[in-house]
Amino acid sequence: MGFAQVKNNLNNNNKGKSMNFKKIIFLVGSLVALLGFFTLAGFKTIEGDERGVVQTWAGLDGSIMNPGTHFYVPLFKTIHVYDVGSEKFIMGKKEYYNGQGSEYVDYPAVTVTTGGTGNEQPVTFSVTMNYRLSPNTKLIKLHEYAQKKYEDLVIKPNLTRIINDLATTRRVLSFYSGEGRVQLQKDIEVAIMAHPALSAVGIIVDTFVFDSIDLDPAYVSEIQGRQLATQKKLRAIEETKVAVQVAQRVQAEAEAQKLKLIVEAETKKQQAIKLAESEVEKVELAARANATKIKEKASAERFRKEQDAKGLLAQGIAEARVAEAKRDSKYSGVSGLRQAQVEIAKYRVGMFQNMAIKGVLDKDVALTIINNENTPAPMLTVPVK
């Protein structure tokens, strides 16, 4: 190998080393540039139930970052994300909750001494409050005052204070159960909803409930004994009321049965009266009908007799008229007159023949009496005995 060849090989080696060095420099520069870019620029995604509070070197910029993906420079800005959806705040005994997820106990139960002087009794409240954060500029005030420690700095102390204030002066029996419990729960809910410390930073309370109210076991036994006695008393009262109602019902049923029997008897009586009246009415109607029939029969008989009498009268009149007519025809005319005079004379003679008046009437008187002076009949001589 000659000198020239060796020189060429050395030159080629130097060129290769120079190219490798440049590549290394380029890679290091690119890495530094990328690091600088990600240091100076960033992306932040805000979900639908979230809001962002932007803080710069100069402080809070006063705006709320709404849902979406936002580009910013981390070197100059910090974005604090808050969940504005419904949240659950629990202060209570762990044994009442499952200890997972939303049922995680945030703080221990609240113990309050209630009842006032001479009636002190410790009571432990396990409570749950549902709340949400206002999605407007009050979120900036919340971040400025407490940041993510608002439950510890705002909710817990104010809710504990309200429970103490409203429960301390009340006796346990007034809120342990029933309407008193509901009323105390409602009073606490109204008070925490309107509390200015919460409303000022945009904490909106939706609901508040008692999960449990725990008392000293001995006191609970006493309460249960009182309740049991009260229940027995109430049960006895109710049983007495039921017995009275049963007796009243039995009496009412007896009265109703009695009234029913009276009504039935009265009905039967009225029916018997009506039946008797009906029978009497039937007899009266039959008697009236019979009387009418007899009357009609009598009237018919009388009418028949009257007609018979009228017939006989008419017959007699007719016969008399016939006799009169015969007589009239017998004595009509001159011959009839003579016949009449003869019969009259005979009648008169016969009449005087029956008289035994001797020597009283003379011959002339007798003849004068016998003869009608106005009748030109022949004189008849009646012998005087």
**pLDDT tens, 343-383?**
777 766 666 655 545 555 555 555 555 555 444 444 444 44
Name the token pair of 213. Answer: 């109210």
Q: Which among 94, 133, 97, 127 has a CA at the least distance from the CA of 112?
A: 127
Q: How many CB atoms lie within 10 A of CB 95?
A: 9
3-state DSSP call for residue 132?
strand
| Helix orientation angle between 217-330 and 333-353, rounded to the nearest 10 degrees | 100
Quick one: pLDDT at residue 102?
Answer: 55
pTM given for the model: 0.51
DSSP letter for each residue of 266-332: HHHHHHHHHHHHHHHHHHHHHHHHHHHHHHHHHHHHHHHHHHHHHHHHHHHHHHHHHHHHHHHHHS-
Of residues 311 and 179, the one with the higher pLDDT is 179
Token digits of residue 171: 């006796």
pLDDT above 50: residue 385: no
pLDDT interval class at 191 (50, 70, 90): very high
CATH class of the domain whose range is 84-215: alpha beta
Q: In the chain, what percentage of residues exceed pLDDT 70?
A: 73
pLDDT score at 269: 82
Residue ranges of domains in the chain: 3-32, 43-82, 84-215, 333-370
Q: Are strands 77-83 and 203-215 parallel, antiparallel or unpaired?
A: unpaired
- Mean pLDDT is highest, among 93-102, 185-194, 250-259, for 185-194
Question: Own/partner pairs for 137-140, CB < 8 Å, 24+ apart?
Answer: 137/62, 137/64, 138/200, 138/201, 138/202, 139/51, 139/53, 139/64, 139/82, 139/84, 139/202, 140/53, 140/60, 140/62, 140/64
Phi, psi (deg, nearest 5) at residue 109: -65, 155
User: In whole angstroms, what is the distance from residue 80 CA to residue 83 CA?
Assistant: 10
Q: What is the pLDDT of residues 301-349, one digit of tens each?
A: 777 777 777 777 777 777 777 777 776 666 666 666 777 677 777 766 6
Whether residue 291 is predicted with pLDDT greater than 80 in this model: the reply is no
SS3 category, 186 = helix
